[in-house]
């Protein structure tokens, strides 16, 4: 039996949208090498609610990153942007072990 290890790093993408479409985008995305989890979820917020997903990405020993804190994060941003565009969403969030990032193309979300 073979054993592989790599430095631990993860990123989670939180985005609303139709689950079957998001799953297909993820299937196509990981063809470059990688692995993601897609967990359906419901977002309940002030005066609203919508369905979406939590997408998990890890520094997977089969496809390890030399600098996972940069490479895996960049990969998460690319996937998040792809889903944002294809699912006509306004924003998404990426959480890492150290920081949480909010990406928005909505007017009014600009930094003040």
Give the total number of structural domains in the chain: 1
For range 88-94, the mean pLDDT: 97
Q: What is the CATH number of the domain that holds 24?
A: 3.30.70
Structural domain containing residue 64: 10-104
Q: How confident is the model at residue 112 (pLDDT cuts 50, 70, 90)?
A: low
Q: Is the pLDDT of residue 2 over 60?
A: yes
58 belongs to a structural domain: yes
* 73 domain-assigned: yes
Nearest to 87 by CA among 46, 47, 55: 55
| Position 2 in a domain | no
> What is the value of pTM for the model shown?
0.91
Residue 14 is predicted with a pLDDT of 98
Q: What is the 3-state secondary structure (H, E, C) of 42-100?
A: EEEECCEEEEEEEEEEECCCCCCCCCHHHHHHHHHHHHHHHHHHHCCCCEEEEECCCCE
Q: pLDDT tens for residues 8-67?
A: 999 999 999 999 999 999 999 999 888 899 999 999 999 999 999 999 999 989 888 899
């Amino acid at each position: 039996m073979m054993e592989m290890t790599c430095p631990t790093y993860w990123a989670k993408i939180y985005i609303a949208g139709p689950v079957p479409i998001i799953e297909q985008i993820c299937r196509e995305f990981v063809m470059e090498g990688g692995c993601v989890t897609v967990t359906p979820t419901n977002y309940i917020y002030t005066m609203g609610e919508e369905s979406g997903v939590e997408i998990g990405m890890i520094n997977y020993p089969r496809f390890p990153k030399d600098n996972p804190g940069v490479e895996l994060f960049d990969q998460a941003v690319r996937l998040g942007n792809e889903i944002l565009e294809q699912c006509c969403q306004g924003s998404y969030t990426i959480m890492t072990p150290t920081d949480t990032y909010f990406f928005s193309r909505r007017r009014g979300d600009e930094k003040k």
